[in-house]
């Protein structure tokens, strides 16, 4: 019920961080994984680290919607349909929502919501034919509780969650599920960037910022990327066939809301 043997997975933003951990998790379950990001050198290195065989990678800048579509369409034409899609893109720059220029919202919407839509439209026909599909979006706990200082991100992540919930209801009858994973504070380059920005803005040390963040987490530590990937792996598996339209926090208990 947990094996992905014989399945193909497309994992976006998979040259590092949670995306790469998700690729490792899915490959470990038997899937043939296609990594998707903008850095060919990093992708080649990441692909070589995956367990199993038959893995590939695609190169496109996620600020270019046409390039994302073209790469995915070509991969399916050349190597066959995908059964799993993991949507994952680097978050917008931090900052107060009032300070954000309108163009920042437009760029983030295109990178996240529009690319998710493009990729879903590209992979779902093959999922329908197979009677099996799993779309997992790596989003943020800000879907439940907005995070201070991440104005553009809070806005766009909520849009992704609304898109996913709507799509989940439309495709469930085809054996396709659509879910979100909401990582809490996770040891990634993104978290390091946020901590440095907060420290600079508040004229404090990064250690002080980290201490304040950890005080909000009942588990008392930051997550490791593989812990978030484990949730992605479950949602991508046959065992999760009756789980759809949910936003699953992996946050050490930080979210106060039920």
Average pLDDT of every residue of the chain: 96
Question: d(Cα 130, Cα 208) in Å, to the nearest integer?
Answer: 51
pLDDT of residue 33: 98
Task: Read off the tokens for 201.
Answer: 């803005």
On the question of pLDDT at 193 being above 90, the answer is no
Q: What average pLDDT does this structure show over 228-250?
A: 98
Predicted structure pTM score: 0.95
Q: Residue 189's pLDDT is what?
A: 87
Could you give the 3-state DSSP secondary structure of residue 56? strand
Is the pLDDT at 115 greater than 90? The verdict is yes
Q: How far apart are CA 118 and CA 255, in angstroms?
A: 31
The predicted pLDDT at position 54 comes to 94
Average pLDDT of span 202-228: 96
d(CA 175, CA 200): 48
User: Which of helix, strand or coil describes residue 253?
Assistant: coil
Domains defined along the chain, listed by start: 8-185+224-250 (3.40.50.720), 188-222 (no CATH)
Give the rounded distance of the alpha carbon of 244 from its chain centre: 16
Specify the 3-state DSSP secondary structure of 147. coil
Instruction: Give the neighbor-by-neighbor strand order of the sheet with 176-183.
Output: 56-59, 32-37, 8-12, 84-87, 133-138, 176-183, 247-250
pLDDT tens-place string over residues 5-64: 999 999 999 999 999 999 999 999 999 999 999 999 999 999 999 999 999 999 999 999
Q: What is the DSSP letter of 141?
A: G
d(CA 68, CA 87) in angstroms, rounded, equals 12
Q: Look at residue 150 and tell me whether its pLDDT is greater than 90.
A: yes
DSSP strand pairing (176-183 vs 133-138): parallel
pLDDT at residue 213 greater than cutoff 80: yes
The 10s digit of each residue's pLDDT in 35-46 is 999 999 999 999
Give the bridge partners for 32, in sequence order. 8
**Mean pLDDT, residues 101-113:** 97
For residue 223, what are the β-bridge partners? 186
């Amino acid at each position: 019920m947990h094996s992905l043997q014989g399945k193909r997975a497309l994992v976006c933003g998979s040259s590092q961080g949670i995306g790469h951990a998700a690729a490792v998790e899915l490959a470990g379950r038997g899937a043939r994984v296609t990594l998707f990001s903008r850095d060919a050198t990093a992708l080649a290195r990441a692909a070589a680290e995956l367990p199993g065989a038959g893995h590939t990678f695609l190169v496109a800048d996620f600020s270019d919607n046409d390039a994302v579509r073209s790469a995915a369409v070509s991969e399916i034409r050349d190597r066959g349909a995908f059964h799993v899609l993991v949507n994952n893109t680097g978050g917008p720059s931090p900052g107060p929502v009032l300070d954000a220029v309108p163009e920042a919202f437009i760029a983030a919407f295109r990178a996240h919501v529009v690319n998710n839509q493009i990729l879903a439209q590209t992979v779902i026909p093959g999922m329908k034919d197979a009677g099996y599909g799993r779309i997992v979006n790596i989003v943020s706990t800000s879907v439940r509780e907005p995070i201070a200082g991440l104005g553009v991100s809070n806005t766009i992540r909520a849009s992704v969650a609304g898109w996913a919930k709507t799509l989940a209801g439309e495709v469930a009858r085809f054996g396709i599920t659509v879910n979100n994973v909401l990582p809490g504070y996770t040891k990634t380059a993104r978290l390091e960037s946020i901590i440095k920005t907060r420290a600079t803005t508040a004229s404090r040390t990064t250690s002080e910022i980290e201490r304040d963040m950890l005080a909000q987490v009942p588990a008392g530590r930051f997550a490791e990327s593989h812990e978030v990937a484990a949730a992605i792996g479950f949602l991508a598996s046959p065992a999760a066939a009756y789980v759809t339209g949910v936003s699953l926090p992996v946050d050490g208990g930080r979210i106060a809301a039920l």
